[in-house]
Structure 1
Amino acid sequence: MEKQTITIYDVAREANVSMATVSRVVNGNPNVKAATRRRVLDVIDRLDYRPNAVARGLASKKTTTVGVIIPDVTNMFFSSLARGIDDVASMYKYNIILANSDENNQKEVQVVNTLLAKQVDGLIYMGRSISDDLRSEFARSKTPVVLAGSVDPDEQLASVNIDYVAAVQGATKQLLDAGNKKIALVTGPLSEPISGQYRLRGYKQALDGAGIAYDESLVFETEYSYQAGLAVFKQIQKAGATAALISDDEMAVGVLNAALDAGVRVPDDFQIITSNNTKLTQMTRPQLTSLDQPLYDIGAVAMRLLTKLMNKEGIDEITVRLGFDITERQTTK
């Protein structure tokens, strides 16, 4: 037998109240007598009534859903950001639709269109770069967008991140101060703004400050994966580097394990600083020294910023930079 859809009208009739009263109870409006509220809630329970989010959205022009576009749902960097987003969304009574874009430009545009077709009130984007196609989709839709842990070099879109230039400069300087002259920078594609513009600039500034010439053979572009880290270590060794600054924790674990497998002593012969301070950094032996960017907070602040944009509240600054630190562990001296 097909399940009958229970409507707000059925609840009102059974509880012997107006539909407006049922609506007030469902939305937590305090202007309802306690006895009436109890009666309505009992009927809702008995009939198993669930408010229709779509219908509510049509009435209020809001669906109270937010689309979150995540490049790789298996990477701890993004899942840590997503936790912060989700907690603040729940606090402000928004539901989240999570969409995986596989770090693929075409799929990103497709995912954005799918989310917009679901009438989301706002979007949070965590991709590592913004293609022109994606930028024009964002502009056309008029839906508020916030970047989390990502940057817009043109500063047209709201974003929450850290000062990547200063972070990489500080980490590189620490490796230089420890006596390393040849430091590898292991990163994703330099076509991505964070890697190509900000990380590279911080790295060059630190070398410059120490009077060391920049050597592009010490910069390695690779995928953000454990396998890529394993594979790139041989090239790092061949280039004569005695230390590496690595832009992803999974990649760093790969480099560390390849070094240990090759009989290299870490940190005595080779030092490593990774970038995201996810749980992985404490699971390795030796444990990984890492830049510590507040991933949960970046997600939480991005979601709060989005609620302000969706409600057309005033905003002082669309680019929000949070603080960072370096957490010392056992892969540096």
Structure 2
Amino acid sequence: MNPTIKDVAQKANVSIATVSRVLNNLTGYSDKTKQKVNQAIKELGYQPNAIARGLINKRTQTIGVMFPKVSSAFSSDLLHGIDEFAHDSNYSVVVCNTDNDGKRTMKYLQLLREKQVDGIIFSSEVLSKEYYEVLKNMKIPVVLVSSQTDFAKVPYVKVDDYQAVYDAIQFLISKGHRKIAMISGTKGDPLAGTPRVQGYRKALEASGIAFDSSRLVYGDFSFESGSRAMEAILRKAGEATAVFAACDEMAIGALSAALKHGLNVPEDISIMGYDDLKPAQMVTPPLTTVRQPLYEMGKIASEKLIRMIETGEIAANKIIAHSIVERQTVRTLT
């Protein structure tokens, strides 16, 4: 016969109400009591009934997470942070792959509604009015990560993309580079496209360097598009001494294209990325890049969402500090 909550209470020498409070992550007990209850649960092999708990606290202890590309290293790092905090808070995570153009977003919003998730983390996609109306009707909290919105009740966690790219270009300029090309993400993308291009142009302007449209090429944040964009830069702006790519995957694609053309990095051309994904450390030579702390961003977004679920209070927006990680793909011009 399976152990019950009553068995746990008896073994831990506490009331059933106290066990329930521990299981539902509520307050009103000491750390020592929590340890006793958890030890009793472990020794008895007790499995809480999620449906019964949901009836008590009106929650499923589940959050939904929506990514446009679940398989990417970028999404993986964010998800690691999200899941870590959710797990520690006794929440489960349902992950949805909305696809790059968001064509599955409405489908997955309906799925998450049917699963009665307690809240949603919405990542790397514009929160359109259409999506917002659906979420508002679901009456659950939403937090954006690596995204931004003007909707008052939807907090976000992200880096300042404009400032991060401005600092990256200033870094290249400080190394003596003045002919700097950029591989941007999707043209017109208001999240990671336009602000990063604006940072690039403003940094050039601040150093008295004229903007050259032949040195700005657009990709789609993929390795393949980075390789294609680098080919275009070598054709149209072959005199460029440095290339900044708006994500590490495109930067690694650019590195691959440069090597195919017999160019040595950084001796013949310098390449810099954005994100500081694990592959940036693994390529040869290791990639100099702008770091946005994705694991920490995911963890903060998860923390904000769960706090909103449990308190009903709207969390504040959070701009996360970026940094430049110098490795071996940028050289100093003499």
* Alignment-derived partner of residue 123 in structure 1: 120
TM-score with structure 2 length normalisation? Answer: 0.84
* Alignment-derived partner of residue 317 in structure 2: 319
Would you say the 8 A contact 2:68–2:102 is kept in 1? Answer: no
1:172-191 alpha-carbon deviations (Å, 9 max, x no partner): 11222333333222122133
Q: Tell me the CA shift for residue 58 of structure 1.
A: 2.5
Structure 2 stretches lacking a partner, 5+ long:
24-28
Give the secondary structure class of the aligned counterpart of 1:307.
Answer: helix
* Alignment-derived partner of residue 259 in structure 1: 258
* Alignment-derived partner of residue 225 in structure 1: 222
Tell me how far apart the structure 2 counterparts of residues 329 and 287 of structure 1 sit (CA, whole Å): 6
Would you say the 8 A contact 1:128–1:192 is kept in 2? Answer: no
Would you say the 8 A contact 1:105–1:131 is kept in 2? Answer: no
Q: Tell me the CA shift for residue 102 of structure 1.
A: 1.6
Would you say the 8 A contact 1:225–1:250 is kept in 2? Answer: yes
Would you say the 8 A contact 2:68–2:99 is kept in 1? Answer: yes
Structure 1 residues 128, 215: CA separation in 2 closer, same or farther (over 3 Å shift)? farther
1:292-320 alpha-carbon deviations (Å, 9 max, x no partner): 111111111111111221123655x6220
Task: Report 1:266-285 matches (<5 A).
Answer: 266-285=265-284
Q: Tell me the CA shift for residue 93 of structure 1.
A: 1.5
Would you say the 8 A contact 1:148–1:299 is kept in 2? Answer: yes
Q: Tell me the CA shift for residue 74 of structure 1.
A: 1.6
Q: Tell me the CA shift for residue 156 of structure 1.
A: 5.4
* Alignment-derived partner of residue 151 in structure 1: 148
Would you say the 8 A contact 2:147–2:156 is kept in 1? Answer: yes
AA at the equivalent of 1:328: E
TM-score with structure 1 length normalisation? Answer: 0.85
Structure 1 residues 231, 153: CA separation in 2 closer, same or farther (over 3 Å shift)? farther
* Alignment-derived partner of residue 250 in structure 1: 249
Q: Are positions 1:194 and 2:201 aligned together?
A: no
RMSD: 3.2
Give the secondary structure class of the aligned counterpart of 2:65.
Answer: strand
- 2:329 is aligned, of 302, 319, 331, to 331
Q: Tell me the CA shift for residue 59 of structure 1.
A: 2.7
* Alignment-derived partner of residue 299 in structure 1: 298
Tell me how far apart the structure 1 counterparts of residues 37 and 177 of structure 2 sit (CA, whole Å): 69
Q: Tell me the CA shift for residue 250 of structure 1.
A: 1.7
Q: Tell me the CA shift for residue 144 of structure 1.
A: 0.6
Structure 1 residues 232, 155: CA separation in 2 closer, same or farther (over 3 Å shift)? farther
Q: Are positions 1:175 and 2:172 aligned together?
A: yes
Structure 1 residues 205, 42: CA separation in 2 closer, same or farther (over 3 Å shift)? closer
Would you say the 8 A contact 1:164–1:199 is kept in 2? Answer: yes
* Alignment-derived partner of residue 98 in structure 1: 95
Structure 1 residues 197, 223: CA separation in 2 closer, same or farther (over 3 Å shift)? closer
Structure 1 residues 57, 37: CA separation in 2 closer, same or farther (over 3 Å shift)? closer
* Alignment-derived partner of residue 140 in structure 1: 137
Q: Tell me the CA shift for residue 272 of structure 1.
A: 1.1
Structure 1 stretches lacking a partner, 5+ long:
none
Give the secondary structure class of the aligned counterpart of 1:123.
Answer: strand
* Alignment-derived partner of residue 25 in structure 1: 19
Q: Tell me the CA shift for residue 27 of structure 1.
A: 5.0
AA at the equivalent of 2:124: G
Give the fraction of aligned pairs with identical amino acids, expressed as a percent: 32
Count of residues paired in the alignment: 320
Q: Tell me the CA shift for residue 216 of structure 1.
A: 3.0
Structure 1 residues 132, 214: CA separation in 2 closer, same or farther (over 3 Å shift)? farther
Would you say the 8 A contact 2:68–2:100 is kept in 1? Answer: yes
Structure 1 residues 276, 41: CA separation in 2 closer, same or farther (over 3 Å shift)? closer
Tell me how far apart the structure 1 counterparts of residues 127 and 272 of structure 2 sit (CA, whole Å): 27
Once the two structures are overlaid, the 10-residue window that deviates more, 192-201 or 245-254, is 192-201
1:177-213 alpha-carbon deviations (Å, 9 max, x no partner): 3333332221221332223331122112101101223
Structure 1 residues 155, 289: CA separation in 2 closer, same or farther (over 3 Å shift)? farther
* Alignment-derived partner of residue 109 in structure 1: 106
Would you say the 8 A contact 2:155–2:317 is kept in 1? Answer: yes
